[in-house]
A and B are shown apart, each in its own frame.
Chain A
Amino acid sequence: MDLAFTPEEQSFREDIRAWVAANLPADISHKVLNALHLSRDDMQRWAKILGKKGWLGHGWPQEFGGPGWNSVQKHLFEEECALAGAPRVVPFGPVMVAPVIMAFGNAAQQARFLPGIGSGDVWWSQGYSEPGAGSDLASLKTRAERRGSSYIVNGQKTWTTLGQYGDWIFCLVRTSNDGKPQTGISFLLIDMQSPGVTVRPIRLLDGSVEVNEVFFDNVEVPAENLIGEENKGWTYAKHLLSHERTNIADVNRAKRELERLKRIAKAEGVYDDLRFRDEIARLEIDVVALEMMVLRVLAAEKSGKQSLDIAGLLKIRGSEIQQRYSELMMLAAGPYALPLIHEAMEAGWQGDAVGALHCAPLASTYLNMRKTTIYGGSNEVQRNIVAQVVLG
């Protein structure tokens, strides 16, 4: 047993750090490190920089152009990006639909869709949840009826993250009502420019427009956009979930934000308040423990000797920690978390934020973070799954 990274892993980390330092635009990292508003252009700029290097799909198999990194290398890459203030990669293209196209799509689909995903040129959205199908996703109703060489799609998706920027959307649609709900679902790729597709933004409690409703009104989708076989879509979607995904713990960002919390607490004069300091200490211990859990999972993947069935724990804990550091940062700002001055959350603003500039985004971030224990499989559902493993 050994905690240290190998010399090769260390050297890999250093190479990544150097590349990120040379290629991550300073105006983008400034916004990320200070929780300022990121535009579509900011996010896509970074995606294209990664794409050009072949690192947007950094988890892709080598046969599809991936760099062939093991679990530790992927973790180190993600860590160096997070610590340097790179934006989160929008996962829907490179992390969610691409593996499905690779595993279950045909050669024509792979040739048509993967290059645009890998380069960062094409923005993908996810069409899963519906107003009546959240935790109970299998009960989804958006239907796709086969007519000739097309599917006609009718229905509504919701919580479509950044759907307002999407070029394409991958959808779970109902193609049969026979048998159990899961067995009547298909996986369909839809061009968001198609007639009949309407995107309506949903304003969240922090004022942001991060998610959308997407309406499908007799949308004609060529049948060749069906992935794999009809009514097998649920299996394809679950394929993604069967891999250990340590990055759901988001521990790298947690470390970065913990340091930011300390800086803000010092600036606001609460770091020397022992009561506040102890709250930070508790969170620090939580971050260390989460990091150790992530490393255990990574090491198990790397050696292949034992598999650790604790992915659900990583999501639960990671999301709780995200909420906690956003909460503590807001509390550090105290009363100066309260002013809601939108301009102060844009980079380069020079006005009076009523309180320090670093206070301006803190309450909004806290409000926004309430989503983390809800999305990606709510923490209650995750607990059901963990309990299933333990109780048998």
Chain B
Amino acid sequence: MRSWIVVSALLVLAGCSIFLYKTVGLNYPLRAADVAGTWRAELVVNVTGDDDKRVVIDALLPRDSGYQRLLSEAVRSGPMRFSISEDGQSRQGRWSGNLARSTNLSYQVTFDAFEYRWDLPVAEERDADAYPRRPRSLLDPSPGIQSDDPAIAELVAELDLDPSDKVKLTRDIFAFVSREIGAMRTVGAMDAVSVVREGRGNAMGRANLFCALARHVTLPCIVVPGIPLEDGTYDTLHYWNEVYVGGGWVPVDTVEGLIERIPAKHFALSSGDFDTAVRGENTASLSFRFDVQSELAAFVDVMRRRLTESNNLIDRLSLLFLPLHVQQTLRILLLVPLGALTMSILRSMIGLRTFGTFMPMLIALSLTATGLWWGTAFLFVVVLLALLSRIWIQRFYLLLVARVAFILTLVVILMVSLLLIGDRLDIPTTGLRAFPFVIMTMIVERISVSLEEEGWRNTLSRIVTTLISIYVTYVVVQASVLQTFLLVYPEFLIVILGLLIAVGKYTGYRLTELFRFSELAAPKGA
């Protein structure tokens, strides 16, 4: 009769046992020791070979520097061989081998990121010959940095740059490139001379121009490619410079307008002699991307290193071994049961009436992609406009499927318009793609049916409770601590199963019923 209690308890117990075994038996860390600044980046290269020719892929790799300290590296080479070559400031990885079909290569690194700071001295005068060997070698022109080009010479003359004081030079060139050279959003290689010709340039072009000007006036300079330190996927790089002044490399970012110090906003690759992060020979096709993910804790990395050495089955089954982009999907997937548990508690125990059972949860999940405020704004605009149209087309008595499809199309049009407007007004709309448009369509349909059947007062109260559910679920699912926790301890999904059985067997009053039936609870006078 009460067998559900046994099943529920067993499930909770099973999940907790695995958890306890991990924490007590295997010494898994319990707390996500919150060391901000630990990141994980994965370079994923998709390459297709060209007939039987030997394929060579070169990639710029990060190295220990003022920007970062590497903690661990791992490589996936498929059928190819991998080697790393280091030379001064350059660090490159090379995959080589025969490749008949296409394959995915990957280089994964965890690191701590730091703010990099090197202050300019008050003044410095130095001849080309007075530099140490390596900085001196960075005075020569190179592809993209045509410091010997007449156009650069002309510009230097026009700017009236004085080659004697290197500090003033640095500041002058920085001021010129960051203020006078306009921005461009184009993706792709851009050399210094074409930036001079255009009068504007993308990040790479401006860094190249800065470098060419500096080298022309005998100031050793390099271009540093990097990737933004923000959770996401990137296939274009950011570029900034370093100049050798005061016995060290002073960072200069003409795009962000930063000099002497660069906050830990980018992850630096070593500079190389080619102008993208990845270069291929004998490839039929080649594409790459960086998956970047912040780690709440060095904790995950520590665990990862520990786990790779372990032969324990539980260790080997850890989700942390999956590739980064799979883990990013998992982070959301693992939250779904948690959101579902929240929804069932809100509905069965609190008694909130919402539009759709799991709609609020799906909306909450998409809010994690858009951000709370913009997400709410998008939701309101789309639902309100679609709802008004839905009420308007009511007069035609369209057949159900056609009617819903009509609203669906309208929702898509609204989303496209928002993306367009957002792009023009620089509103962050990237997360909008994650919006569940089918769900929104169903919400519009439900609201309009409810308006007709239950009147606007009931509908409004139901909209409010739906919003409450969305936000409560959002608070639960957006916590990145929980995401990491579930990634390390996925056995809590089994615990959730047990809890769901318990919630499903809850036959007590819903919180809202205490108000609904409060008249019946009042003491009887008669």
Q: Do A and B come from one complex?
A: no
A: residues with CB less than 8 A from B are none
The interface of chain B, by Cβ under 8 A from chain A, is: none
